[in-house]
A and B are shown apart, each in its own frame.
Chain A
Amino acid sequence: MNINLTLFGQMVTFAFFVWFCMKFVWPVIIEAMEERQKKIADGLDAADRALRDLELAQNKATDQMKEAKQEAAGIIDQANKRANQIVDEAKQQAVTEGDRLKLSAQAEIEQEINRAKEELRARVAGLALAGAEKVLEASIDDKANRALVDKLAAQL
């Protein structure tokens, strides 16, 4: 219970431990804690921001999808229209082509008919002459009657 040198011994020891704590313990741990606090706060902020970004992105994606759908619908419409158009055009073309072919065929047929008529005429004239020759049994003057027969053939 005596007060003695222990008093000063304890004071010195006390000072030393306080110094040690002040230098090597307190600032290190407090700094780490504060830094961690900041890090956690930043992390939470970042998470919030990310969440907001996500929402925005989702909204944007939905918008884009809607747009894309509209565009696609437009394209399909257009394509349908175009297809109809093409079909119509093709029909038109086919009709005109058909008409054209028909016309040319008719022309050809007419030509053919004319040629046949011509040939027939020539043959008919010959045949008529030969028939007439046979009928008359006499040789008619070819020169004198030729004009007559040709006139006849032209009437055919």
Chain B
Amino acid sequence: MAGENPASTTEYIQHHLTNLVYGNHPDNGWSFAHGAQEAAEMGFMAIHVDSMAWSIGLGVLFCWLFRSAAKRATTGVPTGLLNFVELIIEFIDGAVKDSFHGRNKLVAPLALTIFVWIFLMNFMDLLPVDLIPELLMMVGVPYQKIVPSTDPNITLGMALGVFVLMLYYSIKIKGTGFVSELTMHPFNHWAFIPVNLFMETVGLLAKPFSLGLRLFGNMYAGEMIFILIATTFAAGAGAGLIGGGLHAQIFGEHTSAWFWLVIFILVCGVCWLNLKGKIPTGRTVLLCMVFMTIGGGLTALGGGLMQWGWAVFHILVITLQAFIFMVLTVVYLSMAHEEH
């Protein structure tokens, strides 16, 4: 967690915004970067290991989930996972059929992959900002950004993938029509060809960039707010029982993860007992509050509530952004298929 002074707060934020980078450093050769400075020095020949790992991991999760549903697909009564998967597929199928009128076997699976994959990547935003980075820090991983969609490489990478498809289908379907579309629009006269070309090229390039940057911007901003809430409310870790909770009295500035783990288990236990009907709900809430206050102090509790509030709102954002990316992809591909 963050300390008190502005410098360490800035450090905290910067730390959260630094990827785990593996790349070709001019001095050290191929190695992990120690800090943002080295990562910047690596230039293009570097890779964000955390973004790639989470992105691939979540993609594999998506494939595994949907593949196991597909294996269970029957014409009989669908149950459980299959029901859920079919719900999503039906939804995607409807959205694609609404905005894509050509015949293309690629578009619907593409839309499904985009929607579910981006949703999963965005969903990582809802995990507590410090949870996984702190845990990985304990095993010696210095930097970790667990939300791949807050990395412009990831979002632009997908947008570029879509852009390649747009170009491919434009040329395949329209042929020379695509060229005339670029040169003879909007002013249909040979003298305006340079102007047209410029305008149309900008318009064309704007599509993937807006697609990728929109997702990146939204997720980055959302992540920033989580981080800011975390810094604001955890700033007084050493400020006594109110600010830092009991653990600050016991352990001082040094946060023990085991203490947090105990608090976590206590809170989960109380909630579980409530669900089993052993403790009344009012007392459950009270006990949770007490545990949280012991764990993090009142401000931490306030921070927790705010994190929770923003997370609830953010659920809408992550779903909406995944949906927008998918719909725009479909629309762009639909435009690539249509002759003017």
Contacts and interface: CB of A to CB of B under 8 A. Distances in A.
B337 interface: no
By CB atoms of chain B within 10 A, which of A4, A22, A30, A39 has the most? A4
B59 A17 contact: yes
B214 to A, nearest CB: 16
B75 A36 contact: yes
B73 A29 contact: yes
B161 to A, nearest CB: 4
Given A21-B113, A22-B106, A29 B85 contact: yes
B75 A39 contact: yes
Majority-rule SS of A interface residues: helix
Nearest to B89: A29
B156 to A, nearest CB: 6
Nearest to B110: A18
Contact of A33 (B56, B62, B89): B89
Nearest to A4: B46
A144 interface: no
A9 B43 CA distance: 15
A10 to B, nearest CB: 3
B82 to A, nearest CB: 8
Interface string A7-39: 111110111111011101110111111011001
Interface in A62-114: none
Interface in B29-47: 39-40, 42-47
B160 A22 contact: no
A26 B46 contact: no
B43 A11 contact: no
By CB atoms of chain A within 10 A, which of B23, B42, B85, B113 has the most? B113
A18 B93 CA distance: 15
A104 to B, nearest CB: 93
Interface string B71-101: 1011110100000011001100100000000
B63 A21 contact: yes
In this complex, the interface size class of chain A, counting residues with CB under 8 Å from chain B, is 20 to 34
A31 B74 CA distance: 9
Interface string B148-159: 000111101110
A31 B70 CA distance: 10
A126 to B, nearest CB: 124
A2 B93 CA distance: 36
A30 B47 contact: no
B89 A6 contact: no
By CB atoms of chain A within 10 A, which of B71, B76, B156, B157 has the most? B157
Contacts of A30: 89, 93, 108
Contact of B153 (A4, A17, A25): A4
B109 interface: yes
A26 B93 CA distance: 10
B69 interface: yes
Contacts of B239: none
Contact of A24 (B70, B75, B90): B70
A2 B40 contact: yes
Given A21-B112, A24-B67, A26-B108, A32 B46 contact: no
B45 A28 contact: no
Contacts of B108: 26, 30
Nearest to B106: A22
A6 B74 contact: no
Contact of B46 (A5, A16, A22, A28): A5
A156 interface: no
Nearest to A34: B75
B66 interface: yes
A35 B108 CA distance: 18
B47 A9 contact: yes
Nearest to A37: B75
A1 interface: yes
A147 interface: no
A135 interface: no
29 contacts: A2-B46, A3-B153, A3-B156, A4-B46, A5-B44, A5-B46, A6-B151, A6-B157, A7-B153, A10-B51, A10-B55, A10-B153, A10-B154, A13-B56, A14-B158, A16-B59, A17-B63, A17-B113, A18-B109, A18-B110, A21-B112, A22-B110, A25-B63, A25-B67, A28-B73, A29-B89, A32-B75, A33-B90, A36-B74
Given A18-B113, A31-B73, A36-B76, 10 more contacts: A2-B44, A3-B44, A4-B45, A6-B52, A10-B157, A15-B161, A17-B62, A22-B109, A24-B63, A32-B74
